[in-house]
Amino acid sequence: MSMSEHRRGAVRSEAARRAILEATARLFAARGYDHLTIEGVATEAGVGKQTIYRWWPSKSALVADCLLEGLLLPNRLGPPNTGDVRADLVAWLEEIFELVAQPIGESLILSLIAAAAENPEVGRRLYASMGATSALVERFEDAIAASEIREDAPVQEIGEALMGPLIVRMLSRTALTPGTAARLVDVVLGPLSLGIGRGSGS
């Protein structure tokens, strides 16, 4: 095979891969995880099923890659860094709450949770997409350096403690009331605080 033929093949392969991922994202948003099928994705993308199986062993693997490519969530969420860790965490949670308060957002996250039950990689990438991994750890490290929270604060567990109630409320279809984000942050950060300012939402 000549170099030009190899390049054309690579371009075609990448175009097919992108078409498959975009088709998956469209169908996932429209139908949810339970009604997503490899056959449907193949038809939507204009490729054969074997082309999909060449790269992805299952629909959950497809969904995981869609998350990685940023095709399912509107952007990569993460806490800001204004110098006030409490305010930043409240703002971060409220952004996530705003996303899931929309019918399409709630349906999307619930479908992703269903996909995560089948494929743990989906869960890891969903968690990362919401900013609950490296971005959150970095924010806590800055807060420790600024003496806002204790040096021995378990930063990974803090993120999990903040995200857990959100997932529970979504699964139980319990409404997120005003002030929920601030109350969650205060409960989780309270024992770790070294003088964090408390806003009116506490």
The string of pLDDT tens digits covering residues 141-164 is: 999 999 999 999 888 888 888 888
Instruction: Judge whether 75 lies within some domain.
Output: no
pLDDT in tens, 6-24: 344 445 688 999 999 999 9
Domain boundary among 37, 56, 75: 56
**Predicted pLDDT at 65:** 87
In CATH, what number is assigned to the domain containing residue 28? 1.10.10.60
* Alpha helices in the chain, H assignment, sequence order: 3-31, 38-45, 49-55, 59-68, 85-101, 103-118, 120-129, 134-145, 155-171, 180-189
Mean pLDDT, residues 52-66 taken together: 89
2 or 13: whose pLDDT is higher? 13
| Joined tokens for residue 18 | 């992108």
User: Same structural domain for residues 51 and 126?
Assistant: no
Residue-number span of the structural domain to which 119 is assigned: 83-187
Q: What angle do CA 93, 84, 184 make, to 5 degrees?
A: 35
Give the span between the Cα atoms of 117 and 79, in whole angstroms: 26
Mean pLDDT, residues 121-125 taken together: 80
User: Same structural domain for residues 173 and 127?
Assistant: yes
| pLDDT grade for 167, boundaries at 50, 70 and 90 | confident
User: Same structural domain for residues 22 and 117?
Assistant: no
User: Same structural domain for residues 23 and 93?
Assistant: no
In CATH, what number is assigned to the domain containing residue 134? 1.10.357.10
User: Same structural domain for residues 91 and 48?
Assistant: no
**Predicted pLDDT at 7:** 40
| pLDDT grade for 95, boundaries at 50, 70 and 90 | confident
User: Same structural domain for residues 181 and 97?
Assistant: yes
104-107 contacts at long range (C-beta below 8 A, 24 or more positions apart): 104/29, 106/170, 107/32
Instruction: Judge whether 13 lies within some domain.
Output: yes
**Predicted pLDDT at 132:** 62
Instruction: Judge whether 111 lies within some domain.
Output: yes
Helix (H, G, I), strand (E, B) or coil at 73: coil
User: Same structural domain for residues 114 and 177?
Assistant: yes
User: Same structural domain for residues 120 and 177?
Assistant: yes
Q: Select the highest-mean-pLDDT range: 39-53, 140-154, 176-190.
A: 39-53
User: Same structural domain for residues 93 and 42?
Assistant: no
The answer on pLDDT for 75 being more than 60 is no
Give the span between the Cα atoms of 31 and 194, in whole angstroms: 47
Could you report how far apart the first and last alpha carbons of the chain are, in Å?
Answer: 67
User: Same structural domain for residues 106 and 148?
Assistant: yes
- In order of 61, 125, 133, 188, the CA distances from 34 in angstroms are 14, 19, 27, 34
pLDDT in tens, 22-46: 999 999 888 888 899 999 999 999 9
How many domains is the chain partitioned into structurally? 2
